[in-house]
Structures are given as C-alpha cells and as structure tokens.
Amino acid sequence: MYPVLRIVLLTQYLIGICNAVLDSVVVRGTGPVPPLVIPPSQYFEGNDGPWSTFNLRVGTPGQDVRVTISTASPETMVVLSEYGCSTIVFKTVPERCASSRGLMFSPNSSSTWSDKGFFGINQDGVGLEANLGYTQAANFGLDTLGLGMVAGANGPTLKNQTIAGIPSASPFYLGIFGLGTQPVNFSSLGNYSAPSYFTSLRDQNLIPSLSWSYTAGAKYRKLIRVSLFLIRILTLSKLGLKQVYGQLIFSGYDTSRFTSSPISFTIAKDLTRDIVVSLQSITYSGTVQTSLLASPILVFIDSTDPNLWLPEAACQLFEEAFGLTLDDATGLYLVNNSHHEALLSENAEVSFKLSDTIGGGGTVNIVLPYSAFDLKAEYPMVNNASFYFPLKKAANNTQYTLGRTFLQEAYLTVDYERGNFSVSPCSWVEGAAQNIVAISSKDSKVGNNTTPLIIAPGDAEPNPTSPKNGIDTGAIIGIVVGCAIFAILLALAGYFFLKRWKEKQTLSQIIESSDSHKGVVGLEGLESPEYHKLSSLKATDGELSNDSQIYQLHSEQMPRRAAETNEDLVRSVAYELPGSAVKSVGLDVEEGNNAVSR
C-alpha cells in the first residue's frame, strides 16, 4: 500500500512542478503586456446565417454563453433564460432552442448580479442600431464577465461589467459582445454610467493599447486537409474540411489572416458611427461585369447587423445582377432552391473599392464571392427555412452600412489611440502559421508611437517577436511535451515497480507459509531433513545386538509428486543410534521418490 501511495504522491508532485514552470513562463513572464487573443467557440450558428461565435462566462458562478461580435456596441447582450425559449417569445418553441440561441443566462443564479432595471438599447433615434430601426428592451445589470470557455491568459474575467439580458428573439437571436469604447449611461439612475469591457481591459493594464482586430470568419471557406494518419491505415485517405472561424485580438493583429493594405483610414468623430469608409465603387463580375454603385458614398462598417444597407438604386442593380426579388412578407431577398443552385454554379464575385476620401486617394479592394451572400434564414425570421441574400434598402445616408457579411472577407484593425484603422482583404493560405503582432500604446516607449497603422505590401512587417509576456509558443510546446513524456515514463516505471513488488510479496507469503509448516509440503507429517539423537530405549526394536550382522533400516516409501522445486528439499530422516558398535547402517530410499512439488 505504501509504495503505491508514494508513487501517486510523487506523480502529483512532478505534475505540479510542470504546471508551475509552465505557469511561470506563460503567465508570469516579465516584459510589456502582450496582445490578447480570444479563441472562437468553433461553432457556426444563428437564424440569419452561419456565424462564428465566441464564448463568454457570465455571473458567479460563470454561466457559459456563445455570442457574435458587435464592433459598435459598448455593452454585452445575452439571452435571458426566463423568456428566451418560452411561449411568450415563440408561438412554437424550436427544437434545441437554448443551444440554437447560444445558451442563456439566469441573473437569479448569479450571486454577483446587480440589477439596474429594464431599459431600451437606444432612445429617440440615438444609441445602438437606432439608425437601422432596431428596438430592443433589455434587463440591464452589472455582473462578472469573462472571455473564453475558461479563465486564464486568454480568458480575462472582469467584475462590474454591463450586461443586458434580452427576452425576445428579434432583432437579436444570439447575444452579442461589444467592442465599443463609449460608456453605457443609465439616465434614470442619476446619469450613472459604466465603462465598456474594452476600455476596462485597457484601464486595468490587461492589454497594451486601446486597439483590436476582428474578422467574422467564413464557413464557406473550407480548406481541404488530408489525414496522413489515415493514409497509413487505409489505402485511400478521407478528406477533412476545415472551416475558417472568426478571430478577435485585443491590441494586436494576425498577419497570417490578411493581405497587407496600402492605406489607413481615419476614425470619424461620431462615436456611434466611427468606423466609416468611402465606398467608391461596387463591381459585379459574373457572366458580364457591371457597376452596382452610381456614385461614391460614406458607409459605416458594423458587424452587429448581417446585411449590406445600400441606396435603393444600388439595390435595384443587385436585383438585376443576381435575379433577386424582395419578399414583402419578410422584407428579405429570398432565393429558391433552383435559383440558389444556379447562382452557386455561376459563382459571381462582388468587389468593393474602399478609400479614406470620397474621390481619388489610395484604395483597397475587398472581393466577396457569391458564397459570402449565400445565407439561410430560419424560424422565427421565416416560417420555413429559406436561402436569402443579405441586402437592405437604406432609407437615408445614415443607414449606409457594410455589415457582418462584408467582414467574412475583410480583416478590420482599429487603433483608437492613434485615431486610425485599416481594412484588408482576408488571406486564405492553407497551413499559414499564426503570427500575432502587438500594437503598442501611443505613449509607450516601445515601437513607433506616432505613425498611423498602415501595413503596406512589400514593407517590412512589424517584428512578430515584439516584447511579449513569457516565452514563445515552440518553447511552451516543448515544455508541455516534455512534461507529458516524463509523466508517461514515470507511470510506466511505477507500473513495473508495483508488479515486481507484488510478485515479491506473493513469493514471501509462500516462503512464510512453508516455514510455518516446518517443511510439510503438501503431505502432512513429512518433515524437513533434520538429524535427531534418539534416547536409549529398552525396546528391542530400538537397540541392535552386538552380533556381527549388518542390519538395514528401511524408510517408509515416500509418495511421488509433481516436480516443481529442488529435489533435495525432502529427504529421508537420518538417525544417530546409541548402543553397540555397528559396521554400517543405511537408509534406503527408492530412486525417484524424493522429488516433491510445491
């Protein structure tokens, strides 16, 4: 028992050392604060398209939810469990409702929830998506909010963050995580305001600068990978399809996810519409090439909404190019199955030319294949699932928006400290290694602090090994693999040690059992070979006469047993006899009868 306990304790101790070493090199390293990379949930979900979501932990204890990213919202919205999948919201509650809505949050189950009451997300035409006609009441409160599935280096947890619980299924079917900088104001609570999660990260020095990068991901971008392991086993390998998930990085960007952009855009002064670009042209390339925009317009890039909100004239040109018809009942450009297959077969592309100025200047082209527009609407948007084209007619120029659909093919990096941002085409290079580059603070002594964020083709990329916390990924992997191998070897050594120890214990028990029976091995009354001096007895059969004859004493015949041990362990007993001199006394044992088995 004790050797087993010692091995277990030693294993736990060594694993603890490995964890401590890993923790020290990853978390407690010295140097500037590194960028914060938030891993995607690896789910594509939503009732208005397959969108890459991200995990959040809300409340205490943390309740897991999955949400999309809003580049405009200052708050986080989650679906309320009390209403989210009830008949109050749905005439018919859909199957797997909670999972389809990214799971739900119960304020009553959180010990840290501080309720602020029900408010609208916008008011009097001001606030989140007010220009697009969104109306949404929500139960606001402050609570603990963590990013990612688990807490850790890439999963920070902040207290007293603004949470809005949404009871309805429209306009938000999934919750959202906001990247906005402006605080959330509660006018009826004495103008009480709470900072956004993004600015809280910077204020608590959890990120090096007030900047972020985001791309929505693209389910249709399926990169083919061949499993070498299956090739070794099977004659023909099975192909696996890898979908490209969204990416969110605070204070950095990943050069492997985009093609460098030659221009930088200036952040607009309107905090509610700050990421604005000049859309100089839209070009359709299919069987023919056609312009879809009569003149340049200023558009807002916003991932909160999935649609492209364009002038009515532009929408009419889209209708002609793709053969679209607006469904009056749903307000959607629905696409039937046969038309859907024809559009996929044609595989037309739409190119958006962006600039920082209305006319002239540098430009960048973002090209969307038809697959980017090939979305599916589901209940309760429509009664029966149907393909649709994410296009909306804007009532005025305040509604001009490039929504989440656009960000499937665009990589957006926003630097609020320097007042600029970049929009770059996504890169789809198979096997490209992640290369995270930090964006330092404008006030930092590290790096270039005044130049706007421009990543031009051919220019030297910023140093990917810029000061960061801890050691690089290769070293971390080496430590993890080393610890794993050591633990396996230790386990194997422990197994063989225990096996040998048990064998010794068994053998020891057998020997002790044999000793306790004084040589009796399977035959009661059979003693081990010992010499006995017999006392003088008067019995005539005990003392020999002094005649000259030789008397021979015969031992009892020993039974034969299977031979498994040394034959010398059992012998006939020799006696030293007192009395007159004897020429010889022999003890005869039949040959072959002295072998015993245990």
Cβ neighbours of residue 144 under 8 Å, at least 6 residues apart? Answer: 57, 58, 59, 60, 62, 110, 112, 157, 158, 159, 160, 161
Host H or E run for residue 215 = strand 211-215
> In Å, what is the CA distance from 332 to each residue of 297, 398, 512?
23, 20, 89
∠ CA(558), CA(560), CA(566), 5° rounding?
Answer: 95
For β-strands 401-402 and 40-45, DSSP reports them as unpaired
CATH topology identical between 36-207 and 218-469: yes
Give dist(CA 318, CA 325) in Å, integer: 10
Task: Please tell me the class of the 218-469 domain.
Answer: mainly beta
What does the block give as tokens for 159? Answer: 């207290």
Give dist(CA 331, CA 381) in Å, integer: 10
Give dist(CA 232, CA 242) in Å, integer: 21
Strand order in the sheet with 325-327: 325-327, 332-335, 386-389, 375-377
> Helix axis angle, 473-516 relative to 2-26, nearest 10°?
170
Report pLDDT for 332.
Answer: 98
Report pLDDT for 156.
Answer: 95
Report pLDDT for 49.
Answer: 97
Report pLDDT for 243.
Answer: 83
Report pLDDT for 92.
Answer: 95
CB of 293 closer than 8 Å to CB of 402: no
Note down pLDDT in tens along the chain; length 598 residues: 455 556 555 555 555 555 544 444 444 445 689 999 999 999 999 999 999 999 999 999 999 999 999 999 999 999 999 999 999 999 999 999 999 999 999 999 999 999 999 999 998 888 899 999 999 999 999 999 999 998 877 789 999 999 999 999 999 999 999 999 999 887 665 567 899 999 999 999 999 999 999 999 999 997 544 443 433 333 333 344 468 999 999 999 999 999 988 799 999 999 889 999 999 999 999 989 999 999 999 999 999 999 999 999 999 999 999 999 999 999 999 999 999 999 999 999 999 999 999 988 899 999 999 999 999 999 999 999 999 999 999 999 999 999 999 999 999 999 999 999 999 999 999 888 999 999 999 987 655 444 445 443 333 334 443 333 444 445 555 665 666 676 677 667 766 666 776 666 665 665 555 554 444 444 344 344 443 444 443 444 444 444 444 444 444 444 444 444 444 434 444 434 344 333 333 333 343 444 333 4
> Which residue in this structure is represented by tokens 């409340």?
59
Scanning 403-445, the segments in alpha helix (DSSP H) are: none
CB of 321 closer than 8 Å to CB of 379: no
CB of 36 closer than 8 Å to CB of 156: yes
> In Å, what is the CA distance from 372 to each residue of 306, 343, 396?
11, 12, 25
Can you name the residues that pair with 224 across neighbouring β-strands? 241
SS3 state at 397: helix
Q: How far is CA 85 from the centre of its chain?
A: 27
Which residues in 262-390 belong to E strands, given as ranges?
265-266, 276-285, 289-291, 297-301, 308-310, 325-327, 332-335, 349-355, 363-369, 375-377, 386-389
Give the number of other CB atoms < 10 A from CB of residue 343. 21
CB of 175 closer than 8 Å to CB of 190: no
Report pLDDT for 410.
Answer: 98
What does the block give as tokens for 65? Answer: 């939810």
Domain layout of the chain by residue ranges? 1-30+473-516, 36-207, 218-469, 524-598
CB of 534 closer than 8 Å to CB of 577: yes
Report pLDDT for 509.
Answer: 64
Report the sign of the C-alpha dihedral through residues 282, 285, 287, 289, in that order.
Answer: positive
Pick the CATH number of 36-207 from 3.60.20.10, 2.40.50.140, 2.40.70.10, 3.10.20.70: 2.40.70.10
Nearest to 136 by CA among 103, 98, 165, 159: 165
Cβ neighbours of residue 539 under 8 Å, at least 6 residues apart? Answer: none
What does the block give as tokens for 197? Answer: 């999660």
Report the sign of the C-alpha dihedral through residues 482, 484, 489, 490, in that order.
Answer: positive
Give dist(CA 177, CA 577) in Å, integer: 105
Report pLDDT for 574.
Answer: 42
**Counting runs of H as helices and runs of E as strands, what totals does the chain give?**
8, 38
Give dist(CA 94, CA 85) in Å, integer: 8
Give dist(CA 275, CA 269) in Å, integer: 9
Give the number of other CB atoms < 10 A from CB of residue 223. 13
